Structure 1
């Protein structure tokens, strides 16, 4: 597995066009591979995420089983003469994950649930739009994903008993775009979480980091990354 980071030159018109649609960016990411990796639900896959740290600092992160070549993205959305990208072998980091380790994390996800208005209707996948529902969506998945979101000391809880976890929502976006060959637009709600976690099941967490968490993985959701806490 490989972890790749590419800084986007947001001052360029072509870069803003690439960033404007998850469909366009998905195509650009998949074009990074001479042989497109097989996308299997039960195996490692290509995951990507856009991090907007500031107006002038936007990064594309990619996790993939094959090393990518981002030359085309540098030409369209980077600095062709001075910029580039960094690709790292992800396996040594993944193999060192140990139960009890604590890490800062970031995850962009598509929090959804199945709902229906009455008993006669079939269930429909619907986005969570409320802040508390979106936070709960992640907390409900932490055990099977191999981690536990760390709890705050009582003295750091703004409202004791409710503001319990080291977990924040950094960004919420609603994206509307068209898939190739479809006339009806697609609407996607994305949420970027940040926080601190403890590893509870290293194997499960490795699966989360390489297979993604939740839906809409082709459109920039599901990729969790860790950093020193």
Structure 2
């Protein structure tokens, strides 16, 4: 028996907590986060102690924690934006590492089909590369990163459609050719996370909401892989 198509709602409400932290990139605590992706993850998660049991495998997902960051080398400033379903407490960050007190904001926004919004996102743009066994049978594909802007736009087409009427999975439409793509340096982590290398690309552009529920889900849960490592958060304006 086939599953009936999901009925789309006319509007959906997005509620989240945003923290904006401006950190001194020269401070050892911050400098370590910049050279080790796992340390950056710990920095982000230190704001959410006590909300879930210690050692929970899906603690980040339970609390809806997503993040993104940008580094100004001239000013030696790291701006870290953290989104969550629960309130953050940044008292565990060394006082000297913060340039100023963290800004805590509550985002409460209703999106309707047809709404237009500007957006920015840092994503881990990957695709599944087919593999075959010696006997020519198909194996599970290997996840590979796109390494150039045109490849990233193919990734965008799967999330935001191809600009010609096809719909993506993120509940919003955007012509990939109009999205600004900037390839960012790969982030990695040494032992015990040898082999952790995360390709990143920054997207900037405008989109139109086509499915409010799906769009709010993408805002809440993030898009793509490496969401524990500051990828996948969509910021709108």
* TM-score of the aligned structures, taking structure 1 as reference length: 0.79
Query: Contact 2:149/2:182 (CA < 8 Å) preserved in 1?
Result: no
Structure 1 204/43 Cα, relative in aligned 2: closer, same or farther at 3 Å? farther
Distance (whole Å) between structure 2 residues aligned to residue 214 and residue 138 of structure 1: 10
Superposition map of 1:1-229 within 5 A:
1-37=16-52, 39=58, 45-52=64-71, 55-56=74-75, 57-73=77-93, 75=95, 77-79=97-99, 83-90=100-107, 92-93=108-109, 96-116=110-130, 118-120=132-134, 122-142=140-160, 143-149=168-174, 151=175, 165-178=177-190, 180=192, 182=193, 184-227=194-237
Match of 1:161 in 2: none
How far did residue 54 of structure 1 move?
Answer: 6.4
TM-score by structure 2 length? 0.77
* Mapped contact 2:63–2:86 kept (Cα < 8 A): no
How many residues were matched structurally? Answer: 206
Aligned counterparts of 1:62 and 1:50: Cα–Cα separation in 2: 9
Rounded to whole Å, the distance in 2 between the matches of 1:40 and 1:10 is 27
C-alpha distance in 2 between matches for 1:43 and 1:203: 19
| Structure 1 gaps, min length 5 | 152-163
- Larger strand proportion, structure 1 or 2? 2
Name the CA distance, whole Å, in 2 between partners of 1:8 and 1:41.
22
Q: Structure 2: 5+ residue runs without aligned partners?
A: 1-15, 161-167
Q: Secondary structure, in 3 states, of the residue corresponding to 2:152?
A: helix
Give the superposed CA RMSD. Answer: 2.5
